[in-house]
Each structure stands twice: as structure tokens, then as C-alpha cells.
Structure 1
Amino acid sequence: MVGLRERKKQQTRLQISDIATGLFLERGFDAVTIAEIAEAAEVSVNTVYNYFPAKEDLFFDRESELMRRPSDIVREREPGQSAAEALLEQLRSDLDAHSWEVGMHEGFDRFVRCIRESPALLARLYGMERRIAEHLAEVLREEVAADADDPTPEAVATQLVGMNNAIHQVIWNGVYIGHTRAEVGRRARRDLDVHASLLSDTVLNYATRPEI
């Protein structure tokens, strides 16, 4: 059970993050200072840095959740299901549901615009994509008990995360130029089917969980 002190810390963190996000979307990431965020949130600059060591942390406040998601999906795959199948199934489900995880929720166009206009956010995003692939490779290596010098987990992870990134880019492009969510979803689903059809049998069947 979360104690009162911890709940207050969580509330303060959320308050700072929400205020910062509003300012970023209104004025652009690079135009907003930490001092302005602290003043709007009625906290000190040091308090902001205590919760968010870097300014980019305020924008990508759900980074850790997004970083873990592909690996969590693989860990929770069904018996008889491979890593690729689990990720493809979840991505198709996210597209059908227009979920926030794939950026198809209302208002996401403002987030896309903010990121594209900020070199700092773009750099952070590229770094996140690299770390997602690295983490997924570690999980795949554990799941198949691969030898330490076996490059296959990294190769498979790179292809699967690359596919995921490509579909997200289709969504971001569509959202940015103003396509409807239905049209964005249709194009993303079409491209996903193409990417999936080009995966080798090795990738498609890698880390298949044994049947019970």
C-alpha cells in the first residue's frame, strides 16, 4: 500500500509534468524554461530537477513504460507463440483500438509537432528507440538461453523494433498532415502487413514459447 508521503510525491510529479506538457504544446519545447515551469507549478527549480533531472524527462514522462513495453509483451506471450507473433498481435490490436501507445488518440498531432520542431526531443526519441532494441535483445537472449557471443537476439530485436518504429512513423506522418484516425489506421495496418510478410522464418519463429 502506498503511503501518504509517496502519494504526495506522485501528485507533485504529475502536477509538474502536466503543467510542463501544457506549456510545451502551447509554446514549443525549446521556448519553455525550467524556471517558467517551476513558477507555473508553484514549486522551486530544484524541486523540478529532483523529479525530472533533464528537461526532456518532462516531455517523455512515460518513457520507462514505453521502453519496457515490447519486452513485457514478449515475456507475457502465450504458449506456442513466438516473440514476433506476440508483438505483431499487440500492434494490430493497438491499431484497431486507436490506442495512445501507437499515437492515435485525440490531440496527438500537437505532440508530433512539438517533437519535430525540437532537435533535443528528436535526439531523445532516437536514443529511446535504440535502448528499446537493446532491452528487447537482452530479454530474447534470456528467453532462448542464447550463448553470450550469439548475435541472433540483437539481430532479431533490431528487425522487430525497426518494424515497430516504421509503423509509428507512418502514424506520425499521417497525424502530422491531418489525416483522419481511420485513414491513419488503414495505412498503418497495410504497411504492417507488408513488413510482416518480409520477415524471415527465423525471425517469425524466434523465441517460440513451448506448448504446455
Structure 2
Amino acid sequence: MVPDTSTPPGLRERKKQQTRLAIYEAALELFVAEGFDRVSMTQIAEAANVSKATVFNYFPSKEDLIMVAMREAMTDPGKPVRARAPGESVLDALRRAFLDELDRRESHVGLDAGGLGFMRVVRSSPALAGRVMLLDRHREVQLAQALAEETGAAPGDMTPNMVAAAVLGAMRAVSSENWRRLVDGESPDAIHPDAVAAAERLFDVLTEGLAGYGVRPLHVSEPPDKR
């Protein structure tokens, strides 16, 4: 879990962050040792040395407790689209952003050995698997909205939705394979070259059909003066 460091927190906020992190770490240790479905909120409170009410103040449910780490690790998928350079297509921007995440060995792309415990917990629970699917769907909506805004899609145009699903599906395929190999004992450094090659291949396939989609104009005309 990564705390917000945009502004230095005060003492009270630091204590809240420490308590939140302690609860999360205690819960994850229990989930890994005993299984997600077998651990109660009471056990988590005892392991974190806080009251059960305190646990619920920070995390409304066990699912929220474990999924918050995944939500915090993932950035807005539409950000690279909005920040793309003049002359750059949305697909090129998303490819570049994903390759950067692979190079940084980000946890959510399956190249962080420190996330193994978390992933084992997620894969062991149907309830958490369902939450992951909802999170994936939310990211598709985020990306589709950014694509629609950036390309000026007309209301009812499903092209942004299709592109978002295709791109995130490619990223998900690479990340899932990375996690599988990581769980099997391979190191992130051993997996990384194959992950990059796979990502390049999948984006090449997408590019064949989407190469001209969402290219930002080289020169953006100023809106007319309405005075």
C-alpha cells in the first residue's frame, strides 16, 4: 500500500496511515497463512493490536481490505491518452505507458515478487476474483471515457468501448502470464524480456487494425474569437 505523499501529513494523519498499514499487513499475513475465507475481522483486529471497530473504520469489509492495495497500485488508464504528444495515436501512447510499467517492474503487471502473497490470496478466493473483475470493468470505463473525450466520439459510438476492452485485454493477458510464472518461482528479471516481447506482439496486432485511431493533430487551431 502506497500512502499519499503529495503533501507532508501531520502527526494525526501519519498515525492513521500507520494504523491502516498495520491492519493491512496483519490481514495479508493471516490470509496467506490460513486462506482468505477462513480469516475473520476479529482475528485481523487481534493480529493488528486494534479493536474490531477500528478495522471496520478503515475497511468496510475483508474484500475492501485486500482490494485497496490493487486499486492504489493502478493508475488511471486514460492518463497516457490525455498526455499523448502531437502526432501520437492513443495506441502508441498506451503501448509506451505499459512498457514503462513493465520496465519499472510494477506489481499490478506481475513483475514484483513482493506482491506474490497478495496474488495468491486473490486467486484463492472466488469473492476476490469477482472484485478483480469489477475493478477491471471500472478501468475499461475509465479508458473508454478518456478515448471518447479525446477523439470526439459521438454519443452512442461504441468504438471507444471496443478499443478500451481490446487494449486492456492485451495488457491483462501479459500481466496474467507474468503472475503465473512468478508464482511458479521465476524471477521478475527472468520474466521481463518475454513480457516486453509479448506486449510488443499484442500491440502490433492491435496496431494493424487501429493504427490511425485517435492520432492527435500536429496543429490544434484556436477556437474562434466570439467577441
Deviations 1:101-127, CA, capped at 9 Å, x for gaps = 422122333333222211112111111
In the alignment of these two chains, the number of paired residues is 212
Say which one has the larger Rg.
Answer: 2
CA contact under 8 A between 1:67 and 1:132: conserved in structure 2?
A: no
Identity of aligned residues (%): 39
Q: Measure how far apart 1:200 and its partner are.
A: 4.3
Q: Identify the residue that residue 186 of structure 1 maps to in structure 2.
A: 193
Q: Among 9, 33, 43, which residue is 2:50 paired with?
A: 43
1:104 and 2:111 aligned:
yes
1:140 and 2:133 aligned:
no
Instruction: Specify the code of the residue in structure 1 equivalent to 2:44.
Output: I
Name the structure with the higher helix share. Answer: 1
Distance in 1 (CA, whole Å) between partners of 2:78 and 2:176 is 20
Distance in 2 (CA, whole Å) between partners of 1:62 and 1:208 is 34
CA contact under 8 A between 1:83 and 1:204: conserved in structure 2?
A: no
- What do you get for the CA RMSD once the two structures are aligned? 2.1
Q: Secondary structure at the match of 2:68?
A: coil
Distance in 1 (CA, whole Å) between partners of 2:211 and 2:22 is 43
Q: Measure how far apart 1:22 and its partner are.
A: 2.1
Instruction: Specify the code of the residue in structure 2 equivalent to 1:53.
Output: P
Instruction: Specify the code of the residue in structure 1 equivalent to 2:171.
Output: N
Change (3 A) 1:176 1:64: closer
Change (3 A) 1:52 1:135: same
CA contact under 8 A between 1:138 and 1:153: conserved in structure 2?
A: yes
Distance in 2 (CA, whole Å) between partners of 1:4 and 1:109 is 32
Deviations 1:25-56, CA, capped at 9 Å, x for gaps = 23222221111111122222222122111211
Q: Measure how far apart 1:171 and its partner are.
A: 0.5
Q: Which runs of 5+ in 1 are unaligned?
A: none
1:162 and 2:169 aligned:
yes
CA contact under 8 A between 1:108 and 1:175: conserved in structure 2?
A: no
TM-score, normalised by the number of residues in structure 2: 0.83
Q: Secondary structure at the match of 1:61?
A: helix
CA contact under 8 A between 1:115 and 1:122: conserved in structure 2?
A: yes
Instruction: Specify the code of the residue in structure 1 equivalent to 2:110.
Output: G
Q: Measure how far apart 1:21 and its partner are.
A: 1.8
Q: Among 65, 75, 79, which residue is 2:86 paired with?
A: 79
Distance in 1 (CA, whole Å) between partners of 2:187 and 2:28 is 24
Deviations 1:160-210, CA, capped at 9 Å, x for gaps = 111111111111111122223233222222221221121145534433333
Instruction: Specify the code of the residue in structure 2 equivalent to 1:111.
Output: F
Q: Measure how far apart 1:155 and its partner are.
A: 0.9
Of stretches 56-65 and 197-206 in structure 1, the one that deviates more from structure 2 is 197-206
